[in-house]
Amino acid sequence: MKLRVNGEEYLTESATLLDLLGELRIAPERVAVEVNLKVIKRADVPSLSLREGDVVEIVNFVGGGAPVISWAVWGYRQVAIYGAVGGRE
Amino acid sequence: MSDTLVIRGVEFRSRLWVGTGKYRSFDETVKAIEASGADVVTVAVRRVNITDRKSENFLDYLDLSRIKVLPNTAGCYTVEDALRYSRLAREAGVSDMVKLEVIGDEKTLFPDTAGLLAATETLAKEGFIVLPYTNDDPVMAKRLENAGAAAVMPLGAPIGSGLGIRNPYNIKIILEAATVPIVVDAGVGTASDAAIAMELGCDAVLINTAIAGAKDPIAMAEAMKHAVVAGRLAYRAGRIPKKLYATASSPIEGML
């Protein structure tokens, strides 16, 4: 069966979501899964069957605050700030 | 003297919350979190690497019986995305709490407050404990509260800018009107900035870049811990009013 998993085409024999997670060696309790844009409740993971063409997204938590501001932007802003203060005072 | 922060029944031992992005290694992340004494860490929701299953997750290194994981919706620019990430976070985690971000501009990372308000309302109705990241705008802070936010997280300055609390007067006005906890999120550059936020009466401070980007993140984490404690104590102690002229501290009586 052909699926789309995390943006990539994926061929599998797994008929259920639980089997797919097992095949990928992913512990179900550490992730959240979306199938065809529908978030799957944790309790529903074991009973969910997969169908040809399903779009599956598997996510977990990663270190994160905000997206990194590039140094180029920072440099620009620094200049802009000093410029503004100098101009006003 | 109990001074515990409680948000919708969830107790927080620490008034310093820390982000977990931008560190150089897992080891440094974990040591900095420990040094900060924070019992809340924010995390982002991202795709699992399905091709390299050996890649580790830093959450494996944290004592999750002691530390609360607060997922954010960092990187979301639309209401739809923010809702999607929040719902995924709820299933991936253990609580209904979400630090809601709807970003409106790439360069400043300022929030899209119209989108933020809509997303807050929707998620609150779905039973989420919503902590929206917003501007230092007293009107919007109140509107978010009325929309069901469990706490409001105004920025001190742009994310990662380290410019400190740029508008303490707005933060003060937000605090005066608020009936939910106010957590300054973003802008802190060094320990004194964190202390100022707490002296103003904020309930907590969330810091990421100022710690992760410091030359010695672990030492800075400890500095932030002390700053938040000192700022909170000073707030509760009640500072003296600012005056233009001197007031002698030694008695005049008994002088020769």
Q: Output the CA–CA distances (angstroms, integers) from residue A57 to A3, A21, B92, in the order listed.
A: 11, 11, 12
- Looking at per-residue pLDDT, the higher value among B48 and B119 belongs to B119
| Residue A73 pLDDT greater than 80, yes or no | no
Task: Give the sign of the dihedral formed by CA B86, CA B89, CA B95, CA B99.
Answer: negative
Q: Do B21 and A65 touch (CB under 8 A)?
A: yes
| Residue B31 pLDDT greater than 60, yes or no | yes
Asked if residues A49 and A16 have their Cβ atoms less than 8 Å apart, the reply is yes
CA atoms of B99 and B89, how far apart (whole Å): 10
Residue of A nearest to B73 (CA): A66
Q: What's the pLDDT at B1?
A: 60
Q: What's the pLDDT at A65?
A: 56
Q: Do A77 and B43 touch (CB under 8 A)?
A: no
Instruction: Look up tokens 């931008």; give the residue.
Output: B22
Most confident of A66-75, B43-52, B245-254: B245-254
Of B43, B87, B159, the CB nearest to A61: B43
Residues of A in contact with B91 (CB under 8 A): 32-33, 39-42
Q: What's the pLDDT at A84?
A: 34
pLDDT band of residue A63 (cuts 50, 70, 90) is: confident
CA distance A29 to chain B (A): 7
Q: Do B48 and A64 touch (CB under 8 A)?
A: no
pLDDT tens, B225-252? 999 999 999 999 999 999 999 988 888 8
Average pLDDT of the residues in A33-61 = 92
Average pLDDT of the residues in B19-36 = 87
Which residues have CB under 8 Å from B92's CB, separation 6+?
Answer: A30, A31, A32, A59, A60, A61, B45, B71
Which residues have CB under 8 Å from B100's CB, separation 6+?
Answer: B72, B73, B82, B86, B116, B119, B120, B123, B130, B131, B132, B133
Residue of A nearest to B72 (CA): A65
pLDDT tens, B120-150? 999 999 999 999 999 999 999 999 999 999 9
Asked if residues B216 and B229 have their Cβ atoms less than 8 Å apart, the reply is no
CA atoms of B115 and A62, how far apart (whole Å): 24
Q: What's the pLDDT at B62?
A: 81
By the CB < 8 Å criterion, does A60 face chain B? Answer: yes
Radius of gyration of chain B (CA): 19
Cα A87 to its chain centre, rounded Å, is 44
Q: Do B92 and A68 touch (CB under 8 A)?
A: no
